[in-house]
Structure 1
Amino acid sequence: MPVHFPRVAVLLAAYNGMQWIEEQLASILAQTDVDVTVYINIDPSTDGTEAWCAASASRHSNVVVLPPAGRFGGASRNFFWLLREVDFTDFDFVAFADQDDLWHPDKLSRGIDAINVKGVDAYSSNVTAFWPDGRACLLSKAQPQVTWDFLFEAAGPGCTYVFTQALAKALKASMFDHWHALQAVSLHDWFCYAFARSHGYRWFIDPSPSMNYRQHERNQVGANAGLSSLVARYKTIHDGWWFHQVQLITHLVGQAEGTFVRGWIQLGRLQLVRLSWSAWKCRRRLRDKAFFFCICWATALIGTRTK
């Protein structure tokens, strides 16, 4: 009898990706014990990405390039469009893919096994970051989930995410309801994690890496490692971007009226001080809890540039 593998829709956002996309697509098509269809949406590019992807789709029946839809200007809007436009009816699972990584051969099957065995609705994992000079390091995102982490951070890189069909359809429905406001969300992986957790979906973060996470100068969001990364993240907070995203995502996932959130959502000085004392249940990693506490106090004292 023929073996029926789980059917997975892989959503790949591309933009000027000719340096890496061929290697990445090969790693996706080589996934074991799954039936994969790759849907590619391309932000208008200047390096031949569109032509190469069209040629790949002509050679592979399980590679589909979405029709041109104008400029998206960032990965988040590109992924939201993929979630909106791809029909998941015939698929068991949905996964995200960046154009420049390298997937382990069992990335999807391992994620699906975890979803089935643990009885959860979504999967993400640690990754191994690697640089052109040969450096590599494990990026750990698998600390225990806490009560409110989903309002303040993602579950790790979105390119590790795997969803059940039911969760993917719920995400799609919510996106249609909030499509205009959603365009201001900068990080699709943060929003998807927040939506899932706030609506009672269960999520597993795997401590084992499932892919090699390429680092280069054009990463929209790179590895959160080292002092320079910490400084860069402080700048986004001082500029007002991070707290604005917290407010926006909190409203979009329907959490703004809860007792805990009402205590700080306006982000006034006293509210930020109050929020700082909840740092232990707002971030997963110990270092990030401490950073969160300090940022709340610093912002309360000196504000942000947008205020």
Structure 2
Amino acid sequence: MTNRILLCTYEGEAYLEAQLASMEEQTESNFRLLLSDDASTDRSFAIGEAAAARDERITAIRRVKRSGSAARHFFEGLRDPRFFSVADESDYYLFSDQDDVWHPDKLAVEARAMRCLEARYGKELPLLVHCDMRVVDAVGREIAPSYVRYQKMSPARRHFRQLLVQNNVTGGAMLMNHALVRLLVAHPVPEHAVMHDHWIALVAAAFGRIAYLDRALYDYRQHGDNVLGAKKGSALSEIRRRLGLAGESFKEMNEKSGAAYRALFLQAEEFRRQYGKELSAEAGKTLDDFLALQHKTRIGKAVGILRGGFTFNLPHRTLGELLFL
């Protein structure tokens, strides 16, 4: 069994060396790291080459043409034969961002949790483990000890119906077993995934199991160039934004919310195209019920959301959903 890590880089020279060092210092030394650089113009690939030269566990490759997004880069890297092999049925798979710092036991703790899951459910079931993270600033000073609590997330909400509307799985926090990755690569790269981690969480929830480790296993660095950053969850501030009282008008918030919900429906439609024939009857009905919401009246949407369990994790967030969906 080998732990396979995909580290996707783009213009990441500022923090990349620290992340690579944290991986080389893992207490679980049995891993292979594929660093895939997305045609950076800075020293990202050179840093990767230097790491590969000193550590045989690391391979660095450079894309000639940009993927266009972080999500697509990870989706395409997942299918790279240097990362995934159909024959290696015992391997585990992880993603890494270029600007995080792994705690020394991240790999060991997640791999141990996956072995426990496989012992319980079997290796043929698609399984996903994910963890909490510490939120830090650009120089590594702690902002919050728990990203999950800082964002007011609810990882226990791991049912398919809940993940259709609200993702709580972060890409850098995941460890996937071979069965899950095999299922993912058996289908095309999705054109309408909100993000790669959200799509993968949906696949795991629909066909297998998700387990959360309530422990921060890496530092999630916040700086000016984050693709997605951490924003402190606050009921008051979220309500103020919804009502147009926090710098954005009610109309702007309505348009922004509408775009977010359209993205969720596009993702769900893509999911049905790709996996519809493989879904259980229950999951298929859940997906159809969710997609039907977009064609209902305001009252019909509210009834469908509450009956179908397509709610958010906090009451004020569900109220915003009822108002803006």
Q: TM-score, normalised by structure 2?
A: 0.78
Residue of structure 2 in register with 1:302 after alignment: none
Is 1:87 matched up with 2:84? yes
Residues 279, 290 of structure 1: 8 Å contact kept = no
Residue of structure 2 in register with 1:144 after alignment: 156
Aligned residue for 2:268, secondary structure, equals helix
Q: Distance in 1 between matches of 2:168 and 2:322?
A: 21
Residue of structure 1 in register with 2:319 after alignment: 293
Residue of structure 2 in register with 1:184 after alignment: 192
Q: Residue by residue, what CA displacement relative to the aligned partner does 1:79-104 show, whole Å, maximum 9, x if unpaired?
A: 00111113334461000100000111
Residues 122, 163 of structure 1: 8 Å contact kept = yes
Aligned residue for 2:8, secondary structure, equals strand
Q: Distance in 2 between matches of 1:190 and 1:237?
A: 23
Q: Read off the aligned partner of 1:191 and give its amino acid letter.
A: W
1:279 Cα deviation after fit:
8.0
Within 5 Å, which residues of 2 pair with 1:120-199? 121-132=127-138, 134-137=141-144, 138-140=146-148, 141=153, 143-147=155-159, 148-174=161-187, 176=188, 179=189, 182-199=190-207
Q: Residue by residue, what CA displacement relative to the aligned partner does 1:202-253 show, whole Å, maximum 9, x if unpaired?
A: 1101111111100111111111414598449996873333222222322333
Residue of structure 2 in register with 1:57 after alignment: 52
Is 1:273 matched up with 2:286? no
Of the structure 1 ranges 163-172 and 110-119, higher mean CA displacement relative to structure 2 is found in 110-119
Residue of structure 1 in register with 2:116 after alignment: 117
Of the structure 1 ranges 20-29 and 126-135, higher mean CA displacement relative to structure 2 is found in 126-135
Of the structure 1 ranges 159-168 and 222-231, higher mean CA displacement relative to structure 2 is found in 222-231
Cα distance change of structure 1 residues 297 and 96 upon mapping to structure 2, 3 Å threshold:
same
Q: Read off the aligned partner of 1:204 and give its amino acid letter.
A: A
Residue of structure 2 in register with 1:35 after alignment: 30
Residue of structure 2 in register with 1:241 after alignment: 259
1:14 Cα deviation after fit:
0.5
Q: Distance in 2 between matches of 1:152 and 1:95?
A: 24
Cα distance change of structure 1 residues 281 and 207 upon mapping to structure 2, 3 Å threshold:
farther
Q: Distance in 2 between matches of 1:212 and 1:83?
A: 23
Q: Read off the aligned partner of 1:238 and give its amino acid letter.
A: E
Q: Distance in 1 between matches of 2:319 and 2:175?
A: 31
Correspondence for 2:211 among 188, 204, 207: 204
Q: Distance in 2 between matches of 1:98 and 1:236?
A: 30
Q: Percent identity?
A: 22
Residues 142, 207 of structure 1: 8 Å contact kept = no
Residues 95, 162 of structure 1: 8 Å contact kept = yes
1:12 Cα deviation after fit:
0.7
Cα distance change of structure 1 residues 132 and 52 upon mapping to structure 2, 3 Å threshold:
closer
Residue of structure 2 in register with 1:101 after alignment: 100
Q: Distance in 2 between matches of 1:108 and 1:294?
A: 38
1:71 Cα deviation after fit:
0.9
Correspondence for 2:19 among 18, 24, 37: 24
Q: Read off the aligned partner of 2:197 and give its amino acid letter.
A: D
Aligned residue for 1:207, secondary structure, equals strand
Q: Distance in 2 between matches of 1:218 and 1:32?
A: 30
Root-mean-square deviation (CA), in Å?
2.8
Q: Distance in 2 between matches of 1:82 and 1:210?
A: 23
Residues 192, 270 of structure 2: 8 Å contact kept = no
Extract unaligned runs of 5+ from structure 2: 122-126, 243-247, 277-282
Q: Residue by residue, what CA displacement relative to the aligned partner does 1:76-134 show, whole Å, maximum 9, x if unpaired?
A: 01100111113334461000100000111111111111122243621001111111373
Paired residues in the alignment total: 285
Q: Distance in 2 between matches of 1:127 and 1:203?
A: 17
